[in-house]
């Protein structure tokens, strides 16, 4: 077991390297000073920022979320599509081009803001999976919801300080309740809903206490290059989460606990506990007992803060939404990035370096000449789909908790995850009034992952929206209204968001194989990869940490 102080000392190097890097950058660019946000910056944030505050109250009959029509139409048919396009040489020079404006792309742009980065994003707004909307003055998330509280020494901690993120995030300290048979249990994880199996709960609780104990912290930390962290990640990766926890409990998991854990895995990783690497599962679960941080609008609030800081130093014209990267050609001493702009015109940028912050299944389409081993690693990655539903309620509600997990009758069909998931629909919902205490109304965000392969063919059927909307409506009428004490007449709207390739699968065995180093290594030295799928780990921290880990290598091309 390693001592917490040792880890801090080792992790501190990251902290130091971010700060010292900034010192170097500031020294190089002493002429650039931060300026207050101008009216045109505000206009830019309104039109392209991660939180859409322009929607009217009227009901919608289509999915928000990602829209794969253009990328599929173009990238899956690239040679033919390019044939009809007028092609010219580069018309622009850059230091660094970032492809993909999700949280990873935004953190990367922020890290290299002194070098006037250009960011190419195919969607109409920045934020990727971490987007939000607004109704009646309440911001709510349509994707990524919350952050773990970072420890001093972690890269995220440094971003928190620089961006004053604590000012816009609310801490959830006490564990949230779990619903079982229509009743809320505030001490569910202590065996309150299953007193007959209390011994097994105690064994689990002891295990997590030991994992988290400051002096002997050894839980698998992802992402990290610290040799001790890597060793613990590889160690726990020999089990899937269900297998490891059954071993700890000393046999079969009690049904309510098994159901809650399974639903947690669906919601957090879009996979079954019988697929999920125990390393990934423990990393999240062990941190869950620590405070989590919630912004109005979910993690889109963090994206918005990064963008606010960025536009004070980088021209807004450098952030190019509705722009699809199509070709990234890595030469010996530069990179040529070709993209189609918002007006469908081909543009070329000659840049010193570039960072791929879009998913790898896109990367392999746009980068010619990728090595065999990298292609094999990319092809190993599996992505799962996700749906959220936002219920707009015109009633002030008591601010009780943030996230409520639903376990229903407390028995899940582990042999047929698809059928089990279909039966329950959403597995949890979060409340917007947790981070917006004074709100005179409320928005509940429901999370329904698709924790199995092959869901996309169903999700893109023409009747998909009405089919899934009905599912949410039924669940709300049956389970949520009685649980939360509002009435059907209080409901103003139900808005759905669909994310097609939202989460890379953190499956058992992936961390013991060579997949992760192969995915993360630079291509021809000059092209870098920073995205959640670098570590097959769907968390905002993934990209934020990888930027810090790769910062010095990227800087070599910039200074
Ligand atoms: C419903 C849901 C809930 C989640 N909840 C949480 C949570 O509570 N906490 C948490 O930490 N994480 C959560 N996540 C995981 C979340 O995905 C990550 O936290 C993080 O937002 C991923 O950021 P990313 O930038 O790595 O990837 P993405 O968000 O996928 O960003 C990739 C970007 O690349 C763009 N792109 C793709 N192809 C191209 C191209 N050819 N040219 C230009 N741009 C391109 C995409 O449009 C996208 O904007 C959740 C995810 C979902 C879907």
Helix/strand/coil (H/E/C) assignment for every residue in 176-208: CCEEECCEEECCHHHCCCCHHHHHHHHHHHHHH
pLDDT number for residue 557: 98
pLDDT number for residue 17: 33
Task: Tell whether ipTM is more than 0.90.
Answer: yes
CA-based torsion, 25, 30, 34, 38: positive or negative: negative
Interval between CA 485 and ligand 1 midpoint (Å): 34
Please indicate whether residue 533, judged by its CB atom, sits closer than 6 Å to ligand 1. Answer: no
Q: What are the phi and psi torsion angles at 164 (to 5°)? A: 50, 45
Q: Which of 406, 409, 542, 421 is nearest to 476 (CA)?
A: 406
pLDDT number for residue 271: 98
Interval between CA 545 and ligand 1 midpoint (Å): 15
How many other CB atoms are found less than 10 A from the CB of residue 101? 29
Of 66, 70, 102, 322, the residue with max ligand 1 atoms within 8 A of its CB, to mutate for a pocket test, comes to: 102
Distance CA 324, CA 69 (A): 12
Atom of ligand 1 nearest to the CA of 105: 25
pLDDT tens, the chain, 559 aa long? 222 223 333 233 233 333 333 322 222 333 334 566 777 889 999 999 999 999 988 878 899 999 999 999 999 999 889 887 888 889 999 999 999 999 999 999 999 999 999 999 999 999 999 999 999 999 999 999 999 888 888 888 999 999 999 899 999 888 889 999 999 999 999 999 999 999 999 999 888 888 777 545 557 789 999 898 899 999 999 999 999 999 999 999 999 999 999 999 999 999 999 999 999 999 888 766 668 899 999 999 999 999 999 999 999 999 999 999 999 999 999 999 999 999 999 999 999 999 999 999 999 999 999 999 999 999 999 999 999 999 999 998 887 789 999 999 989 999 999 999 999 999 999 999 999 988 889 999 999 999 999 999 899 999 999 999 999 999 999 999 999 999 999 999 999 999 999 999 999 999 999 999 999 999 999 999 999 999 999 999 999 999 999 999 999 999 8
Interval between CA 356 and ligand 1 midpoint (Å): 13
Interval between CA 103 and ligand 1 midpoint (Å): 6
Of 110, 388, 538, 544, the residue with max ligand 1 atoms within 8 A of its CB, to mutate for a pocket test, comes to: 538
Q: What are the phi and psi torsion angles at 390 (to 5°)? A: -110, 120
Which residues on adjacent β-strands are paired with residue 92? Answer: 349
Interval between CA 303 and ligand 1 midpoint (Å): 11
The residues near 77 (Cβ < 8 Å, ≥ 6 apart) are: none
pLDDT number for residue 8: 30
> Which residue's alpha carbon is at the smallest distance from atom 17 of ligand 1?
129
Atom of ligand 1 nearest to the CA of 501: 30
Tokens of 293: 């941080």
Atom of ligand 1 nearest to the CA of 387: 1
Tokens of 22: 């900034």
pLDDT number for residue 56: 86
Distance CA 117, CA 126 (A): 15
pLDDT number for residue 13: 29
Mean pLDDT of the chain: 90
pLDDT number for residue 441: 93
Interval between CA 130 and ligand 1 midpoint (Å): 6
How many other CB atoms are found less than 10 A from the CB of residue 164? 11
Tokens of 393: 């309620």
Report the phi/psi class of residue 197: left, alpha or beta, with left for phi > 0 and alpha for psi in -120 to 50.
alpha
Atom of ligand 1 nearest to the CA of 148: 11
Please indicate whether residue 426, judged by its CB atom, sits closer than 6 Å to ligand 1. Answer: no
What DSSP string runs through 236-299? HTTSBHHHHHHHHHTSSPPHHHHHHHHHHHHHHHSS-TTTBBHHHHHHHHHHHTS-EEEETTTT
Interval between CA 379 and ligand 1 midpoint (Å): 19
Please indicate whether residue 540, judged by its CB atom, sits closer than 6 Å to ligand 1. Answer: yes
Distance CA 113, CA 246 (A): 47
Please indicate whether residue 130, judged by its CB atom, sits closer than 6 Å to ligand 1. Answer: yes
Strand order from edge to edge, sheet including 428-431: 64-65, 491-504, 383-393, 442-450, 428-431, 403-406, 178-180, 183-185
Please indicate whether residue 523, judged by its CB atom, sits closer than 6 Å to ligand 1. Answer: no
- For 449, the enclosing helix (H) or strand (E) is strand 442-450
pLDDT number for residue 214: 53
pLDDT number for residue 31: 33
Please indicate whether residue 446, judged by its CB atom, sits closer than 6 Å to ligand 1. Answer: no
> Which residue's alpha carbon is at the smallest distance from atom 5 of ligand 1?
144
Q: Which domains does the chain have, with CATH numbers?
A: 4-28+44-56+67-166+297-379+517-555 (3.50.50.60), 174-290+382-504 (3.90.660.50)
Interval between CA 338 and ligand 1 midpoint (Å): 22
pLDDT number for residue 400: 77
> Which residue's alpha carbon is at the smallest distance from atom 1 of ligand 1?
143
Classify 97 as helix, strand or coil: strand
Number of H helices, E strands in the chain: 20, 21
Interval between CA 104 and ligand 1 midpoint (Å): 8
Interval between CA 542 and ligand 1 midpoint (Å): 11
Of 100, 142, 319, 337, the residue with max ligand 1 atoms within 8 A of its CB, to mutate for a pocket test, comes to: 100
How many other CB atoms are found less than 10 A from the CB of residue 256? 25
Which residues on adjacent β-strands are paired with residue 180? Answer: 183
């Amino acid at each position: 077991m390693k001592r917490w102080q040792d880890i801090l000392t080792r992790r501190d190097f990251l902290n130091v390297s971010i700060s010292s890097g900034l010192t170097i950058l500031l020294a190089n660019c002493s002429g650039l000073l931060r300026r207050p946000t101008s009216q045109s910056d505000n206009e830019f944030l309104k039109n392209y920022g991660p939180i859409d505050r322009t929607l009217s109250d009227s009901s919608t009959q289509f999915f928000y979320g990602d829209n794969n029509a253009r990328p599929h139409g173009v990238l899956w048919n690239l040679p033919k599509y390019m044939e009809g396009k007028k092609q010219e040489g580069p018309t622009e020079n850059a230091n660094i081009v970032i492809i993909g404006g999700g949280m990873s792309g935004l953190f990367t742009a922020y890290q290299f803001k002194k070098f006037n980065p250009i960011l190419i994003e195919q969607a109409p707004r920045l934020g990727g999976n971490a987007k939000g909307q607004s109704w009646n003055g309440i911001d709510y998330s349509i994707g990524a919801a919350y952050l773990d509280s970072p420890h001093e020494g972690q890269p995220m901690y440094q971003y928190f300080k620089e961006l004053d993120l604590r000012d816009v995030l609310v801490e959830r300290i006490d564990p949230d309740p779990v619903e079982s048979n229509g009743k809320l249990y505030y001490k569910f994880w202590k065996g309150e809903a299953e007193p007959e199996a209390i011994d097994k709960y105690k064994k689990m609780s002891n295990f997590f206490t030991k994992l988290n104990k400051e002096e002997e912290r050894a839980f698998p930390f992802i992402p990290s290059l610290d040799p001790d962290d890597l060793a613990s990640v590889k160690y726990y990766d020999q089990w899937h989460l269900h297998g490891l926890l059954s071993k700890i409990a000393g046999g079969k998991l009690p049904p309510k606990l098994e159901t809650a854990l399974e639903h947690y895995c669906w919601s957090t990783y879009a996979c079954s506990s019988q697929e999920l690497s125990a390393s990934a599962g423990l990393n999240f679960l062990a941190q869950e007992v620590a405070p989590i941080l919630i912004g109005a609008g979910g993690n889109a609030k963090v994206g918005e803060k990064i963008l606010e800081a960025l536009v004070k130093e980088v021209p807004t014209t450098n952030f190019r939404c509705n722009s699809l990267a199509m070709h990234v050609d890595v030469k010996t001493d530069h990179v040529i990035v070709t993209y189609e702009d918002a007006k469908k015109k081909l543009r070329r940028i000659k840049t010193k370096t570039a960072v791929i912050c879009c998913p790898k299944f896109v990367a392999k389409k746009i980068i010619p000449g990728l090595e065999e081993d990298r292609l094999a690693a990319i092809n190993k990655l599996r992505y799962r789909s996700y749906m959220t539903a936002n219920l707009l309620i015109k009633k002030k509600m008591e601010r009780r908790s943030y996230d409520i997990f639903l376990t229903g009758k407390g028995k899940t069909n582990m042999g047929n995850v698809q059928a089990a998931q279909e039966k329950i629909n959403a597995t949890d919902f979060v409340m917007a009034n947790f981070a917006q205490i004074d709100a005179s109304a409320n928005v509940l965000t429901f999370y329904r992952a698709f924790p199995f392969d092959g869901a996309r063919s169903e999700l893109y059927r023409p009747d998909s929206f009405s089919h899934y909307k009905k599912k949410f409506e039924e669940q709300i009428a049956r389970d949520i209204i009685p649980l939360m004490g509002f009435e059907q007449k209080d409901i103003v709207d139900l808005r759905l968001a669909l994310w097609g390739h939202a989460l890379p699968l953190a499956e058992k065995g992936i961390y013991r194989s060579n997949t992760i180093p192969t995915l993360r290594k630079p291509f021809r030295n000059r092209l870098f990869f920073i995205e959640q799928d670098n570590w097959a780990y769907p968390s905002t921290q993934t990209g934020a940490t990888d930027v810090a880990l790769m910062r010095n290598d990227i800087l070599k091309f910039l200074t």
